[in-house]
Structure 1
Amino acid sequence: MRVELLGVDIGGTTIHVGLVANNSIKKEAKILVDREAAAAITLQSLLNVIRQNLTGNVVAIGIGVPAVVDPDKGIVYDVQNIPSWKEIPLKSILEKEFNIPVFINNDANCFALGEFTYGQAKNYKNIIGLSLGTGIGMGIISNGMLYNGVLCGAGEIGMLSYKDSIIENYASSFFFTEHYNATAKDLADEARNGDKIALQAFNEYGSHLGEAIKNILYLFAPQAIILGGSISKAYPFFKEKMLESVQGFAYQKQIENLIIEVSQTNGSALLGAASLCLQKTNNNALN
């Protein structure tokens, strides 16, 4: 019998489900998230999409949620994209429904874990996964283990003070909407056509992101930083200024071999959610 895991990534606009076996996603499905729906309705939608993709070979379910999470009790609090989910005992609900173990963590942690387990960071013990999108999410792998902190709250780099505000307002999509009145995607499209204003926007963004990365280097001294999220697709437009800022780091020896790369792994967050099961069970048969 082929042993399988089910990974679930609850994102900004979708719930993404993937069947994971032999280190890859064998089958996947997406459904839209209705921000205005009642908690019970969204929960039922989640149950339905899991049920539709569950096989008899699935031995555990791993879920990444953009929220404060109690990973032991499996309770999610104040889910960002589902306002009605204020305090949901998701683990107990799903385990009662499907009668298999369920493991839950923050979505940024799942991205980092996916890169560490399956992606470019698998040869390093100390890595950071940095998801650049509506916000800036960060997951920490320290000495080969996912570091959660209290209620999976470690890694909230976006909340640190920066300039007149916080890092998130300069190193996520908020920067483009606030300073250029446009989305990162639209500006990336214009930058591909050589638009000078769009290129300037990404130059400025890269400088701010580089400053954020310097903070990460001072705090965690990782071997590798893997970038993901929608904004990472525009990496060629902000790479130069980002690296220029990073070179201002005080301890040059520390960053001589630092790796900063954009994720090339399909479904890192899904794979990372599935990897929660591996970390908890330590069952080599799941690999």
Structure 2
Amino acid sequence: MNKVYAIGLDIGGTHITAAIIDIIDMKVLESSLYKESFDSNLPVDQVMDIWEKVIRISLKNSGVETVMGAAVCIPGPFDYEKGICWIKGQSKYEHFYGLSIRDLIKERFSFSDDFPIYFENDAVCFGKGEVYKDKNNLSKIVMAITIGTGLGACFIDKGISINSGSLVPKEGEIYDLPYKKGIAEDYVSARGLLSSYFHLSGTKVANGLELFNLATIGNELAIIAFEKMGEDLAQIVIPWLKNFSVNHFIIGGKIANASAYFLPSFEKKIKESGCEVSVLISTDNEIAALLGASSLLYTL
């Protein structure tokens, strides 16, 4: 079978990663993987200069001459069907509000009007990428989450993302589910961890990495903060694991790197609930996001 390639992009608030994807075998061409950090609040033309540079370097390094489309993993608020950015008041992409990212990319590369460029939410891309990395997962019912500055989620049934209906929460999101005195993301996120540690210790720490470093040197209250987050995560997802009949649960995001401190308490609560679900900690969120985005082109 002839190889078919596409551009995969993982775009965040402070970085862009590009790679060329073999969308027949759903593999990233390792030689093409290229990442650059930048300030997304720069003027549109300057941001697009950076994006263009990264994409062209990725294409050059891949040795691939022809791509049949592009797929973009990008956070919301975003009109994923129309390719329009609606991010505002989040200290990122302030100048992109209301602009068509699809048109901006096409203009930079003189792509034809019918050149396909697809967009998907970053948490959904992560979950779908984890599924497509191992095609055995295509037969499974999967819930995937990302824990970082926020709490992302997606629900996948046999490779298809489900974000509506009675089996999943509204829009497939869990970050805003009512929980304790606020919402889920108040407790399961970087800020949730820092808040928990402050209430336990009376001490403020700068970020999740600092708290992780405290845990690694045996700080008991730091460890307890992670354990409490694991318990909170379980309480939040258990109803949806049952409702969606999940048999495979995947955890990603930067805080997944601290799984040694929150996974035992999470799994204990899951077991006590009677849920029979396998749990996986992702080790390569970025590759998963690129594959997940490119899966939009998989059947074309």
Q: Comparing 173-182 with 227-236, which one deviates more in the overlay? A: 173-182
Letter in 1 for 2:235: E
From the superposition, tell whether residues 64 and 235 of structure 1 become closer, same or farther in structure 2 (CA, over 3 Å): same
- Aligned counterpart in structure 1 of residue 290 of structure 2, from 262, 265, 270: 270
From the superposition, tell whether residues 147 and 76 of structure 1 become closer, same or farther in structure 2 (CA, over 3 Å): farther
Q: In the alignment, what sits opposite 2:251?
A: 227
SS at match of 1:56: coil
| More strand per residue | 1
- Deviation string 1:95-148 (CA, Å, 9 cap, x unpaired) is 344323211111111111101111487243321120111101112213431234
Normalised to the residue count of structure 1, the TM-score between the two structures is 0.86
In 2, the alpha carbon distance for the partners of 1:90 and 1:52 equals 20
In 1, the alpha carbon distance for the partners of 2:81 and 2:180 equals 37
- Deviation string 1:243-272 (CA, Å, 9 cap, x unpaired) is 2222343xx3xx23x111101446111111
Q: In the alignment, what sits opposite 2:219?
A: 195
In 2, the alpha carbon distance for the partners of 1:105 and 1:240 equals 32
Assess if the C-alpha contact under 8 Å between 2:175 and 2:183 holds in 1.
yes
SS at match of 1:31: strand
C-alpha displacement of 1:216? 2.6
In 2, the alpha carbon distance for the partners of 1:72 and 1:85 equals 17
SS at match of 1:159: coil
- Aligned counterpart in structure 1 of residue 279 of structure 2, from 254, 260, 264: 260
In 2, the alpha carbon distance for the partners of 1:15 and 1:232 equals 21
Total equivalences in the alignment: 273
Mark the runs of 5 or more structure 2 residues left unpaired by the alignment: 198-203
From the superposition, tell whether residues 272 and 84 of structure 1 become closer, same or farther in structure 2 (CA, over 3 Å): same
What is the aligned-residue identity percentage?
Answer: 27
Mark the runs of 5 or more structure 1 residues left unpaired by the alignment: none
Assess if the C-alpha contact under 8 Å between 1:95 and 1:101 holds in 2.
no
Work out whether 1:169 is the aligned partner of 2:189.
Answer: no
Q: In the alignment, what sits opposite 1:126?
A: 141
Letter in 2 for 1:260: V
Q: Comparing 197-206 with 75-84, which one deviates more in the overlay? A: 75-84
- Aligned counterpart in structure 1 of residue 100 of structure 2, from 86, 89, 104: 89
Trace 1:1-287 onto structure 2 (pairs within 5 A).
Answer: 2-21=3-22, 22-26=25-29, 27-54=32-59, 55-78=64-87, 80=90, 81-98=92-109, 99=111, 100-119=115-134, 122-149=137-164, 154-180=171-197, 181-182=204-205, 183-249=207-273, 252=274, 255-256=275-276, 258-265=277-284, 267-278=287-298, 282-283=299-300
SS at match of 1:127: strand
Q: Comparing 78-87 with 201-210, which one deviates more in the overlay? A: 78-87
Assess if the C-alpha contact under 8 Å between 2:131 and 2:137 holds in 1.
yes
Assess if the C-alpha contact under 8 Å between 1:6 and 1:60 holds in 2.
yes
C-alpha displacement of 1:149? 4.8
From the superposition, tell whether residues 108 and 2 of structure 1 become closer, same or farther in structure 2 (CA, over 3 Å): same
Letter in 2 for 1:45: I
Letter in 1 for 2:258: A
In 1, the alpha carbon distance for the partners of 2:193 and 2:280 equals 22
Q: Comparing 109-118 with 189-198, which one deviates more in the overlay? A: 189-198
Cα-Cα RMSD? 2.3
SS at match of 1:247: helix
Assess if the C-alpha contact under 8 Å between 1:124 and 1:224 holds in 2.
no
Assess if the C-alpha contact under 8 Å between 1:66 and 1:106 holds in 2.
yes
In 2, the alpha carbon distance for the partners of 1:177 and 1:33 equals 26
In 2, the alpha carbon distance for the partners of 1:53 and 1:83 equals 26
Assess if the C-alpha contact under 8 Å between 1:132 and 1:227 holds in 2.
yes
Letter in 1 for 2:148: G
* 4+ aligned runs moved over 6 Å, structure 1: none
Assess if the C-alpha contact under 8 Å between 2:17 and 2:34 holds in 1.
yes
Q: Comparing 227-236 with 263-272, which one deviates more in the overlay? A: 263-272
